Every structure is written in structure tokens, then in C-alpha cells.
Structure 1
Amino acid sequence: MNSSEQRPTTAAVPAAEPPRASTVTLLPHTEEQPRFQQSWPLNADATAASKARVLLRTWLTMTWDGNVDQGARVAGHLAENAVRHGEPLQPGNLVFLRVFVLPDTNELAIGVEDALPEFPGFEEHATQSSDVHGPPGGLWWVGHYHGGLSWDVTKDDCGQVVGKTVQALIPATWDGAP
């Protein structure tokens, strides 16, 4: 990370039984356990975005009273960006989709983990204007739904950096106005 980029303050977020030992440190911080949480491995290929959308749409329909389509759309874009701009986790050539619902605000946290521990240009991507020229980028949708975007490195149980997680926090209610 260069000195012009700043990440939000970090706090531990519970992981949902990852297939390998890892600790994800991201905003938001909550002392309470999430209302719901789930994790899925996704192949780091062209199918990741559509699988993320289908998995999350199905899971959210049963667990969250927010806008399921918004959550699924953001998950698809985060998965696509992890495959396109990140590196797959080994073994297995995977990225991981992790979601949970905050108990106090009912906000949906959607995170995608990959093996590249950097996020060049985070500030530029996190503060995109609503003025879009051409097709909007994947992370633009987070702001469009009045969500927040954060990222942090992912560490294994020994404290070694093994990648990053990019996380979107989507409000449970959105009136549709920009």
C-alpha cells in the first residue's frame, strides 16, 4: 500500500468455517455475533460471478429481508473483480465468497477473498462518482446502492499475509434514489 492510499480502521470479523485456517480483518466491527453468516468457495474463472449471484440470491431469500437482487448483484461484481484483478487461492484455483448480516443494523456484509494482498487504486474505486461514462465498473454498484466498500489483507493463523478480502456493506433498505 502506498502512502496515498488509506484503508479503513480494521476489526476482526468472524469467519464462517473456512476450508483453510484464515482470519479476515475488515470493517464493520461488531461485538455481537452476526445474525446469519455463510461462506462458499468459487472457481476463479468466468463462472464465479454468476455462481456468486445464484448462491447469494438463494441464501438471502431465506435469511435477509433487504433487497436480495442488490445483494446478489454486488456479490457477482465482487467475485468477478477478484477473478479479473486478483489472484486465485491455492490449492484449487479459488476465491471465497463470505457473507453475514449485522445484528444491530441488518446490513449485509459481502466479502470476496483472493490471494493478491494489494488493492491498487482503492480510493479511486471506493469513491467513484455516480456520473458514469460507458458501462459502470463492478465496484460502482456498491456506491449506487448506498453501500460502503472496504478491504484489508487476510492472514493465516500464524499471522502471515495470504491475500486480501474486499468487502461491501449493503444497507437493508434503499429507496432507489441516487
Structure 2
Amino acid sequence: MKPPNQSTAACKGDAAVTRIETSVSEGPPRTPVTLLPLQTEEQPAFEWSTTLLANEGAGPNARLRARPWLTIGHWPGNVDIAARVADKLVDNAVKHGKPLADGCISLHLLVAADTDELLVEVDDAYPEFPGFDEAANQTREARANPTGLWWVAHYGGRLSWDVKRNVDDVIVGKTVQAILPIT
């Protein structure tokens, strides 16, 4: 099997807890913002981050990279479901968002120590999320042609997003977050 079209030199690659901050100057978002759930200050049970070149191979590559890391991290949930959700969130960021300054999309996986829920976060440089309410309030019922974010609802996850700011409090994009229960 040939891996998805990705260049490791183009993006920063895997990291323990890397956050990408850029200095893209954008206006305030014009769509409603759903605030991301607060993370506890407790150390996560597992945490992993990577960046992926923002092209057609980013989603499948996210899936291929998430599976082994969730297995290594001993996440007790369904790793295949989590990898599919990571794929869909990254793919959505590539198709409907905007790459970060380095031409990449970032993916962050975190397992909450207290609940074992999986937090899947994807950052891109487009600070808006048009149609979020429709995307976040889908039913779990099967569809003939499911959209990318429908998979989050289908697997019982919760979807949220917020603008991403740099250290100077300038909006540089958004973070889309899916929280998956152990299934």
C-alpha cells in the first residue's frame, strides 16, 4: 500500500505537545463560536501532536498516523473509530479551511486522565466555521452519502470549535475539536 502523498520535510512532523502559532492577520469571525470545553489541569493519560501537509493525502495520513499512536498510548476506546474521526477532521480542514503559514494542518490527540475520553483537535488558519450548527447537530442515523463531520455524531462524539489566537491575542485561525467517548 502506497502511503498518502505527504512530505515530511514540508511540515514539522510528530511532536509531544507542539502547538503551531502563526501571525496571520484576519478579522473577527462572522459565524457563532462554540467555545471549546475546558481541559482539566490534570496531566493527560496520553498526548500526541503532528502536522500534515494540507493536501488530498492529509486525511488518510492522519488516519494512518493516529492508529499506532493511540495503540501505543493504550487508549481503551475503539482506535479505528478515533482514526476515522481524525481523518475526517483533517480532511475537512484541508477542504474548507486554510493551511497554516507552513502549508500544514496540525493534529493533536489527547486522552483525558479522569474519563479516558479522546480529544481530537485540528488547527487551520481559517478563523471561521460556516455551517457549524448544522455540522454539530447531526443525528447518528445512517446516511447514503455521509459528510465528514457526520462521523463524529455517528460515533457519539461531541463537536466544538473556537478561534485560535497567538501569544499577542491576534486571531490566527481556528481549532476544531471532537471528543470521543470510549466505545
Whole-angstrom CA distance in 2 between matches of 1:62 and 1:44: 25
CA 1:113–1:19: 2 relative to 1, 3 Å = closer
Q: Which amino acid aligns with 2:18?
A: E
- Specify the alignment match of 2:98 in structure 1: 87
- 1:109 equivalenced with 2:119 (yes/no): yes
Deviation at 1:121, TM superposition (A): 1.1
Whole-angstrom CA distance in 1 between matches of 2:61 and 2:143: 28
TM-score for both structures, normalised by structure 2: 0.80
- Specify the alignment match of 1:31 in structure 2: 41
Unaligned 5+ segments in structure 2 are 1-15, 24-34
Deviation at 1:21, TM superposition (A): 7.1
- Residue number among 77, 81, 95 corresponding to 1:70 in the alignment: 81
What percentage of aligned pairs have identical amino acids?
Answer: 49
User: How many residues are aligned here?
Assistant: 156
Q: 2:165, 2:172 within 8 Å by CA — same for their partners in 1?
A: yes
- Specify the alignment match of 2:108 in structure 1: 98
- Specify the alignment match of 2:18 in structure 1: 17
CA 1:17–1:50: 2 relative to 1, 3 Å = same
Superimposed CA distance per residue, residues 2-55 of structure 1 (whole angstroms, 9 cap, x where no aligned partner): xxxxxxxxxxxxx91225479xx8324313121111110100000100110011
Superimposed CA distance per residue, residues 124-167 of structure 1 (whole angstroms, 9 cap, x where no aligned partner): 10001234543111111111111100100111111111000101
Superimposed CA distance per residue, residues 84-103 of structure 1 (whole angstroms, 9 cap, x where no aligned partner): 0000111x211000110001
CA 1:65–1:132: 2 relative to 1, 3 Å = closer
Superimposed CA distance per residue, residues 70-95 of structure 1 (whole angstroms, 9 cap, x where no aligned partner): 100000000000000000111x2110
Q: 1:21, 1:157 within 8 Å by CA — same for their partners in 2?
A: no
Q: Which segment is superposed worse, 120-129 or 132-141?
A: 132-141
Unaligned 5+ segments in structure 1 are 1-14
**Which ranges of 4 or more aligned residues in structure 1 deviate by more than 2 Å?**
17-22, 129-134
Whole-angstrom CA distance in 1 between matches of 2:138 and 2:124: 22
Q: Which amino acid aligns with 2:76?
A: D
- Residue number among 55, 60, 65 corresponding to 1:50 in the alignment: 60
- Residue number among 145, 151, 156 corresponding to 2:161 in the alignment: 151
